[in-house]
Every structure is written in C-alpha cells, then in structure tokens.
Amino acid sequence: MPRRPGRPRLAVWKFASCDGCQLSLLDCEDELLAVAERLEIAYFGEASRRMLPGPYDLSLVEGSITTPADALRIRRVRRLSRRLVTIGACATAGGIQALRNFADAAEFAAYVYPHPQYVKTLATSTPIAAHVPVDFELRGCPIDKGQLLEVIKAFLVGRKPSIPNHSVCIDCKARGTVCVMVARGAPCLGPVTHAGCGAICPSYDRGCYGCFGPVAGANTAAIVREFSKLGMAPRDIGRVFRTFNAAAEAFRKEADAHGH
Amino acid sequence: MATRTIRVDYIARVEGESALDLHIRDGKVDAAHLAIFEPPRFFEALLRGRGFREVLDIVARICGICPIAYQMSGVHAIEQVLGVAVEPPIRALRRLLYCGEWIESHALHIVMLHAPDFLGYPDAITMAREHGAAVERGLALKKAGNALLRLLGGREIHPVNVRVGGFYRAPARAELAALVDTLKAAQDQAIATLRWAAGFEFPECRRDYEFVALRHAQDYPMNEGRIVSTAGLDIAAADYETEFLERQVPHSTALHSALKRRGAYLVGPLARYALNRDRLPAEVQALADEVGLEPVCCNPYRSILVRAVEVVYACGEALRLIVDYEPPSRPFVPVAPRAGTGHACSEAPRGILYHRYRLDAEGTILDARHVPPTAQNQGVIEADLRQTAAARLDLDEDELKAACEQSIRNHDPCISCAAHFLTLRVHRG
C-alpha cells in the first residue's frame, strides 16, 4: 500500500469488547496530545466524529469477531491498513465472550434475550488473527498503556516493539513481591502467564488470574499439580483457565483436561 | 407522501457501537431509533456455573469505562446473599474507589466527549489547539481519578482489589495521604472546569423526565440507598423487578427498560442531582448556584454542569474519606457460601446499575441479571431525539445529524454496557 505524505495516519477499531483497551489510549493523559502531534488520528470513533477514509498507516484493533457482519468488516479494515496491531485479550484470544465456544451460543442468546432471533451472533468468539494477518499482538485484559505507547513509538520509527515475553513470575521477582503461592498458599497463574501488567495481583495479596494469557511454553501441567497440592478441586482448577483468555491454546487445553 | 430517511452509521464520542435512524414523513418525525449494534457478549449467561468469588473479576469486563460500578453492584448483591456485613473502613474504601471512577468517567465525558459539541469541534484533540489549557486541565482531572483507581484497585481499567467480604489488600494511611495534594489540585481543576462549562451556550430545552436515582439517609448516593423517583417511587433494590421491566426491540442489541406503570424514565447525573441536591455539602450547592444551575435541571444539554458539580463533590468527598481513614482491622471478613438470591443497585457514573444473583449452597451462580444505566435511558434518549429532530427539520443533513448526535451524547450513553445497547440514519423525503 503506498505511503501517503504527511503524518502517519492512525485508526482505532472496535469489535466485541468492553472499550477498555481503546480507553487505555485516552488514559495516556500526559502523552495523548503529543501522540496526536506525531500521528494523525484519522479514525477513532470513541474520541472523534471526524472519520476520515482510509488507507491508514496503523490500525489498532480492539475486540473479537462474534457476528457475521464483523467477520466481513475486519477484512475491510485489513485492506485499509498498512500495519494492523491487535490490542487486548478479546482481539488476541477471543476474550471472556469466547466462553460461548465451550457452550451452546444459541442457549446463551435465549437466556439473555426474550427474542434471540433478533440477535445475529456467531457460535464462537474468535481472535482477529483467525480472520486476517496481524502484524503485532499486544496482550492483556486490559492492555498496559505503557506497552501501548511503546508499540506506537516503535511503529513511528519503524522498529519491532520491545515487549517482554517472559512470565509474570519474573516481573514479580523483579518487583520484590513475596511469592503469594509459596508464602501464603494462594493459587497463582503467574508462572504460566505472559508478563505485561507489572505483576499487579501478587502486590495486592492475591494470585495472578491470567488476564494476559499464556506465556510461550507455559508449563500448565506443573502449575496444576501445585494447585492440586493446595487442595483445589479439579472443577475449580478448570475454571481458572476458563476466563479472559479461555480460547488461547495452552489455557483451553488445560481447562478441557479438567472437564470444565 | 414525502418521506425522508437520515442515518448516522456510527455515533462518535460515545462508548460502544450504535447508529441513529430518523424516519421523517410529511415534515414530521415518524420514528427515531437508537440502533445498537454492539455485539452481545452474553455475560449473564456465561456467569452461570461460576463460583461467587469469580464474579467480580468477570463483571468488570462488561465495561472498561465503569468497571467499579459492576464490581460494586456485584459485591453488594453477593454479600447480601451471604449475609456479610463489612466494617466501616471497608465501606469508606469502596466509596473512595467509586469517587475515583466518577472523577475519571465524568472528566472524560465533560472534556473529551461532550464539550467539543458546544464549542464546535470534531474532538477534544482538535479543540486543544484553541482551548489547550481547558483540555489539559480536564486530562489532569481525569488522571487524578485514575490515580485513586490505581492505588485502591491496582490499575485504572479492570481493577483487581475488590473481593467479596472486603478488599484483597487495604491501603495504609500513608499510601492514601500521598494522594491528598493531587486531589486538592483536582478539586480546583474541577471548579475551574465547572465555571468553564457554565460559559457554554445551551440550547433551550425543557424535558419532563421522571428522574430515578438512589437516595441515602445522609450521603450523596453511590453504593447505598433506596430507589426513588420524582413521581414518588420509593423501593428497595430487591423490589426493582416488581416496578421495572426490560423489553427487547428489533433494532437494538440492548434491552429497553421502562417503569411498568409509567414508561420511560431517566437515570444518571440529572436524576441524582434532582433527587439528592440536599445531600451535597453547602459549598458544593453554593458553586452550583453560582454557575446558575437550577436545583432540578430538566435541560439535558446542561447535564455537563451537573457532571462537573459531581466531580467537584467527588474530589472533596475523596479528600474527606482519606483524612478520616482508619485502616480496617482486617482487609476482608471471611465468607461462607450459602444458597439464596441477592439484589443491589449502585450509582454508576451514568446512573443506577441493578444486579441480581441467585446462588446455590456451594456458592455457584445459578442465575444472573444486570440492568445497566444506558438500557434504562434508551427510551428517554429516543424521545429526546424525536424532539430534537422535530424542532430542526429545516436544517441541512449534516447539521441535523450533528444536533441529533449531541442530543444522544447529553446522556453519556455507554453502549458496551447496554448491549445486551447507536448509527444515525435519517429517513426523510
């Protein structure tokens, strides 16, 4: 796609989601006006009624694909975007709404709506990468705004974003937090969860609940053995993997193995 | 027969996805629909079978803008089932957390989403070229609200610290004291924002709303109170479903709420203020008087002033809570599962948020029901649209669309919440 002269053009898109990840950009209170000087905000429905036509140099995509119309719309967004970065657990793993993948989506619709026939929805919630090529995936439920700024900065200078891909455990140690699982017996997904949040939960005296999804090479079998030793029932073990990244492969397999 | 159709396919500067359809026939508005195409995520369905301890992390994800509202309505409904009574410091910390969300959400709406309508800009970033100080002040205010959320919740969006029975970790006095200077500055920024917004030109408009809000014996309502209305309703949260119903319309993935006996009603800042102005401290009431805000404001355009008054209040209330804070003897009280049904309502920034849960003896969720503020306001939003359009049919299409969008933004709809909840299409000829 040919580059247009002038500032690079940014677009922000929403699919099935809570708006939290795109709100992270507006939550950059100290940096937002500077970002808007470096990038032309060409399409960002939550922030502006000026909606310029594509093409766009950078598209940030929030949310998962859950409707037939959105499955088509993401293809159009891809065609209009030179670089496409997915932001957050919905866009990178299907989000909490992917729990329908393991249930009867029609029954879900009938439970919530008196007339489910008005609601056009797919049986599954799937990540953006299941539909179109994605240039970079930024994890988290929600994403970390510092990491979002890093992705935008890296894009502006044409380098790869510097986003660590170790586990939450490493960040927790670096932060000097006492291990909640070792010291207090609190089940913690930190060893198998992708870093990025800053290891918040253990610093609030609770175990990590995996909102950044599985780290590459996650040894979920080992963490499950530890959870069993702590006295967790198999059903409860299954459920800890069935949350915001339930459809991510490593978490999906472990939950399946526990009959959830 | 002359018909004209006007459509706005995507309503900007609201949270979530919606469109607007106007059908105009023979110079009259035939229908005004707020079409919500936000894809449904089926939270109430997916909560079934989860443990009660999992609910608060899950319901936060309904809305990135008001996760605290979901956690607060949720925690109080579940604690009602389990018979949990929290210590006064826990109650104070929950109120402080809510102050953070009100400040953050209202500052976002006042400065980033709503003000550009009055000053004629497509967005706050463009507005900042000529109103840089006001935008920067608004962002600083928003940041102060987020600082509260970050300290008490661990992070601004989807905070991690609220649990059934209390908090995972209660802050030390010194941690809260570190926010005093930020909040004092925020209080001044909020007052300046209120005076700035009071200088906007407001369209003449007087709507005959039935206002619905919580009312508490002493406090301006956040977490506690009875559901009251300007037409004399006065019920406990447990009786919500006796008085209100939700129905589905074909053009929306949000359910519409109505008072069974009287139909459409309005929740949110206008309603809270109309029903609870006497619960505001004298100095906050004096500021409202100074900027000419009437005690009961029926002009939805002026809701921006009520939001600003509430931000001033929330900054002061946060400071009071911090000064008075004594850490709880323990961050949470132990809880044991038991079967039953719990109901709770709390005041989200956009209005009352009702939750109901039914649990079995092991604490597993059997049934869940959420009624978000925007679903409750949808009837009023459409009625406002009809009136706005009817008075402006001579405008050209772009001007009419802009006027309709502003009419919607007056109510700060949160579509992500309500879908289970906007595009402007105007049909005319």
Residue B32 scores a pLDDT above 90: no
Where residue B47 falls among pLDDT bands split at 50, 70, 90?
A: very high
- pLDDT score for B71: 98
Taking CB atoms and an 8 Å limit, are A47 and B112 in contact across chains?
yes
pLDDT tens per residue, range B76-115:
999 999 999 999 999 999 999 999 999 999 999 999 999 9
Lowest-pLDDT range of A224-228, B12-16, B305-309: B12-16
The kind and range of the H/E element at B47 are: helix B43-47
Of B40, B50, B112, the CB nearest to A119: B40
pLDDT band at B427 (very low <50, low <70, confident <90, very high): low
Provide, as residue numbers in chain B, all residues whose Cβ is less than 8 Å from the Cβ of A108: 42, 45-46
Do the Cβ atoms of A33 and A47 come closer than 8 Å? no
- Work out the minimum CA distance from B122 to partner chain A, whole angstroms: 5
pLDDT for B238-295, tens place per residue?
Answer: 999 999 988 877 777 777 888 988 889 999 999 999 999 999 999 999 999 999 999 9
Q: What's the pLDDT at A89?
A: 98
Preferred mutation among B61, B70, B112, B255 to probe A, highest tally of A CBs within 10 A: B61
Picking from B46, B113, B398, B414 by the largest number of A CB atoms within 10 A of its own CB, the best residue to mutate is: B46
> Residue B135: closest CA among chain A residues belongs to which residue?
A33
Which among A23, A114, A244 has CB closest to B157? Answer: A23
Q: Does A115 touch chain B (CB under 8 A)?
A: yes
* Of the candidate ranges A77-91, A235-249, B208-222, B371-385, the one whose mean pLDDT is the lowest: B371-385
Beta carbons of B56 and B162 less than 8 angstroms apart: yes
Are B279 and B228 in contact, with CB atoms under 8 Å apart? no
User: Would you state the pLDDT for residue B246?
Assistant: 82
pLDDT digits (tens, 9 = 90+) for A19-56: 999 999 999 999 999 999 999 999 999 999 999 999 99
* Continuous segment of H or E residues that includes residue B145: helix B132-153
Q: Would you give the distance in Å from CA B385 to the centre of its chain?
A: 20
- Residue A5 pLDDT greater than 80, yes or no: no
pLDDT tens digits, one per residue of B181-231? 999 999 999 999 999 999 999 999 999 999 999 999 999 999 999 999 999
Q: What is the pLDDT of residue B417?
A: 60
The whole-number pLDDT of residue A26 equals 95
- List the domains of chain A with CATH numbers: 9-157 (3.40.50.700), 168-257 (no CATH)
**Position B16 pLDDT exceeds 80:** no
Mind listing the domains of chain B with CATH numbers?
A: 3-428 (1.10.645.10)
Peptide bond into A68 cis (omega under 30): no
Task: Give how far Cα B303 sits from Cα of A8, B65, B267, B312, B405, Å.
Answer: 37, 19, 12, 14, 15
Cα-only R_g, chain B? 21
A110 burial (CB, 10 Å; 0-12 / 13-18 / 19+) is middle
Task: Provide, rounded to the nearest whole percent, the portion of chain A with pLDDT above 90.
Answer: 90
Q: Report whether pLDDT(A131) > 80.
A: yes
Q: Which string of DSSP letters, residue by residue, matches B154-222?
A: SSSSS-S-EETTEESSPPPHHHHHTTHHHHHHHHHHHHHHHHHHHTS--------PPBEEEE-SSSPSS
Mean pLDDT of all residues in B338-356: 97
Shortest Cα distance, chain B CAs vs residue A35, angstroms = 10
Q: Higher confidence at residue A112 or residue A227?
A: A227
Percent of chain B with pLDDT over 90: 78
Mean pLDDT of all residues in A153-176: 96
What is the model's pLDDT at position B425?
46
pLDDT exceeds 50 at position B420: no
Q: How many CB pairs under 8 A join A and B?
A: 185
CA distance A201 to B169: 10
Q: Which residues contact B429 (CB under 8 A, 6 or more apart)?
A: B2, B3, B4, B5, B24, B25
Most confident of A121-125, B28-32, B73-77, B376-380: B73-77
Q: What is the pLDDT of residues B397-418, one digit of tens each?
A: 889 888 998 999 999 988 766 5
| Pick from A29, A114, A204: CB nearest B140 | A29
Which segments of B226-339 are extended strands (E)?
226-229, 234-235, 244-248, 255-259
Residue B228, SS3 per DSSP? strand
The pLDDT value given to residue B429: 47
Determine, for residues A97 and B42 on separate chains, whether the beta-carbon distance falls below 8 Å: yes
Distance (Å) of CA B86 to CA B93, B165, B166, B271, B353 = 11, 6, 7, 28, 21
Contact A92, A137 (CB under 8 A): yes
Residues B239-245: contacts with CB under 8 Å, at least 24 apart: B240/B343, B240/B345, B240/B354, B240/B356, B240/B371, B241/B356, B241/B369, B244/B354, B244/B371, B244/B376
ipTM of the complex: 0.96
Å between A121 CA and nearest CA of chain B: 7
What are the tens digits of pLDDT across the range A180-234?
Answer: 999 999 999 999 999 999 999 999 999 999 999 999 999 999 999 999 999 999 8
Averaged pLDDT of chain A: 94
Q: Which of A10, A37, A49 to mutate to test the interface with B (most CBs of B within 10 A)?
A: A49
- pTM of the predicted structure, to 2 decimals: 0.95
Q: Is the pLDDT of residue A90 over 50?
A: yes
- DSSP for A24-93, written as a single string: HHHT-TTTHHHHHHHSEEEEETTTBS----S-EEEEEEESBB-SHHHHHHHHHHHHHEEEEEEESHHHHH
Tens-digit pLDDT profile for residues B389-400? 999 988 988 898
Sign of CA dihedral B181, B185, B191, B193: negative
Interchain CB distance below 8 Å, B124 and A108 = no
Q: What is the mean pLDDT of chain B?
A: 92
